[in-house]
Structure formats: C-alpha cells, structure tokens
A = this chain, B = another copy of it.
C-alpha cells in the first residue's frame, strides 16, 4: 500500500508510472496506443502496463493503493467510464471494470489537462497551494482547475474549458464551432495563424524570410525570432499575441482567483520576452481592492512526466477521499 500507478493515455502512447505518495515517480513504462484498434484491446493494454510497471519496480501489486488514468475527453469518475473522446475510439469505455478486474485495484479517471494541473499542484509550480489553475498553451489550450487540493471540473467533469470561452465576440472561427474563442488567439496554433497573416500583409517583414527558410511554414517561434532580429511587424504581432493571452488569463483570474496561475506549453520557452510584457498587461486587467492578496503567475515546472504524476496524484486524492474506485 501507499504507492499509486498513473497512466497517461495519449493518441500515440500509453505511459504508466509508479508514483510514491509525495509525487515522485519511481519507475515508468510506455507502449504504443495504436489508436485505430478496437477499444477493448487498448483497455487491456492499459491494465497490462499497470501490472508490468509495478513488476518493473519489484513491487507486489499489494503495495499499490490505486490506479489513476489521465485521458483526453470527458471522463465519468462515478461510473469509471470514459464517456467520450475526440481522437480515440471510446464511447462509454469501461476503464474501471476492465483495468480494475485485471489488477484488483481501485481505478479512477480524469481528464489529462486536469491531471497536468494536479501534478503542478502537488510537485510543480503551485506546490503547497490549495487553489490553482494551470493553463497549457499548445496546439489548443488545456486547462485544469485545482480547488482545495482537488480537481474541479464541474458537475459532469466536462468543465475548465477556458480555451473555448469567447474573448472576441464574432471573431475567428474555432474548431469547436464558436467564434472568437481564447484558444483561437492564444494557443500556438493561433499564434501561427496570426504570423502567417502578418507575413502576407507585410511582404518586407523578416517573418517572410524565416517562413521561407522553414519550407514555407510558420511556427510559434517565428514571430519571436523575427522580433529579436529587430523586425517591427513582428514586434507588433508579438505584442498583439500577448495582449490576447493577457485578456484570457485575466478572465481566468477575475473568475477563479487562484492563488497561483501556472502557464506552460512551448510558447513559454520564450521566457522574459513573453513573461515581462504579459505580467504587465495582466496587471492592468485584473482588479484587487486595496489590501486584497493578488494571484501570482508562474511558469509550469513539469514537462512530459506531468501526465503520469498527475494521474497518480488524482488517484491518491480520490482514494484518500474514500471515493468508490
């Protein structure tokens, strides 16, 4: 007893790790998801990798208290099923019954972005704090809310979709069908779109040369690189991107008032070129009366391993709370 297995289910890999109660990963394994397979085969592989990773740490299964699964899509931690996921062949996938039967352990399930937030909360940038929000700027915008050391994602476990809150009514069409979503402006994808638009509108900009050097493709770094070369168009573009990002993050703060707001994802590698103007803009958009404590903004500490740790620590929280697994 006392150890937890975290399984990070992705479209490409199933990763599993044994995690101690303090959030330290003591061993991990990975297998291909092979997402086009029948659902049942994937579930059985998840059960097997849980058994295997415990064995790889020379731990009898009796030393494991529970298994946590971080998955894309909408989980139902009451029934132990994954109701639905966009990129995986899952409808009401019986995670708990299949993996629980194979291992004899309680099985808990939550969304992968929520598990990432849990990991930051236990051993990352928001360690030791009761209320935090973690926002990951990637292809989309992932978000997880931690309230009183527990994941909060609404009555149906489908909440914390900050990426799909509108910041520009009538704005750019989002993949979700809404227009003007935060994700359409502040994700890496949004930045790339704006970079391409700026290049087309400003043929003399350094951005165009950088795109040409990358076989015609802009990346989320292109605008920052061109700005560092002194390009005025790029500087304006970066400022506009950070403005959108600040609007969305300020919205999160004004609504949730986390003690720490964690931001992660590749864009954050830009460091102070991103963070300094971002903090200044957020400060202008958030309101704390005199004497009211302010939300602190920090960069995420954890990388790819966060999925395993977060899933394991989510399981620990559920287990400690006595939830049926």
Task: Mark contacts of A166-181 with chain B using CB atoms, 8 A cut-off: 1 yes-contact digit, 0 otherwise.
Answer: 1111000000111000
Find the residue from A147, A247, A255, A295 having the highest chain B CB count within 10 A.
A255
Q: Chain B residues near A258 (CB, 8 Å)?
A: 154-155
Instruction: Give the one of A86, A91, A166 with max B CB within 10 A.
Output: A166
Contacts of A238-276 to chain B: CB distance below 8 A: 243-244, 247, 250-252, 254-259
Interface centre among A131, A176, A252, A256, by most chain B C-beta atoms within 10 angstroms, is A256
A165: which B residues are within 8 A, CB to CB? 165, 250-251, 254-255
B147 contacts A259, CB within 8 Å? Answer: no
Contacting B at CB under 8 A, from A159-218, are 159-162, 164-169, 176-178
Binds B, one of A46-54, A61-69, A282-290, A312-320: A282-290
- Given A169-B167, A257-B153, A259-B155, A291 contacting B91 (CB threshold 8 A): yes
Main secondary structure of the interface of A (DSSP, over half): loop
Enumerate chain B residues within 8 angstroms of A284, measured Cβ to Cβ: 177
Q: How far is the CB of A144 from chain B (nearest CB, A)?
A: 12
Contact among B178, B244, B256 for A154, CB-based, below 8 A: B256
Is the beta-carbon distance between A92 and B291 smaller than 8 angstroms? yes
- The smallest C-beta distance from A86 to any residue of chain B, in angstroms, reads 8
Interchain nearest-CB distance for A185 vs B (Å): 8
Instruction: Provide the bound-state CA to CA distance between A165 and B162, in Å.
Output: 12
How far, in whole Å, are A248 and B324 apart by their CA atoms in the complex? Answer: 36
A167 touching B164 by the CB < 8 A rule? Answer: no
**Residue among A168, A177, A259 having the largest count of chain B Cβ atoms under 10 Å:** A168
Shortest distance between the CB of A251 and any CB in chain B (Å): 4
Known: A84-B292, A291-B91. A285 touches B166 (CB 8 A): yes
A243 to B180, CA, bound (A): 13
Chain A 115-152 interface mask (CB, 8 Å, partner B; 1/0)? 00000000000000111000000000000000100001
Nearest B residue (CB) for A260: B155
Bound CA span A169–B250, Å: 12
Check: A77 CB closer than 8 A to any chain B CB.
no
Report Cα–Cα, A167/B169, bound state, in Å. 6
Contact A285–B154 (Cβ < 8 Å): no
Q: Give 12 A-B pairs besides A83-B292, A156-B294, A158-B257 with Cβ atoms closer than 8 angstroms.
A: A74-B288, A74-B289, A129-B155, A131-B154, A155-B257, A155-B259, A157-B257, A158-B292, A166-B247, A169-B247, A178-B285, A255-B255
Can you list 24 A-B contacts with CB-CB less than 8 angstroms, sorted by A residue number? A84-B290, A86-B289, A91-B290, A92-B291, A131-B154, A131-B155, A147-B152, A153-B257, A155-B258, A155-B259, A156-B257, A156-B294, A156-B295, A159-B255, A159-B257, A160-B257, A162-B254, A164-B254, A164-B287, A166-B167, A177-B284, A251-B251, A252-B255, A255-B255
A residues at B contact (CB < 8 Å): 73-74, 83-86, 91-92, 129-131, 147, 152-162, 164-169, 176-178, 243-244, 247, 250-252, 254-259, 284-285, 287-295
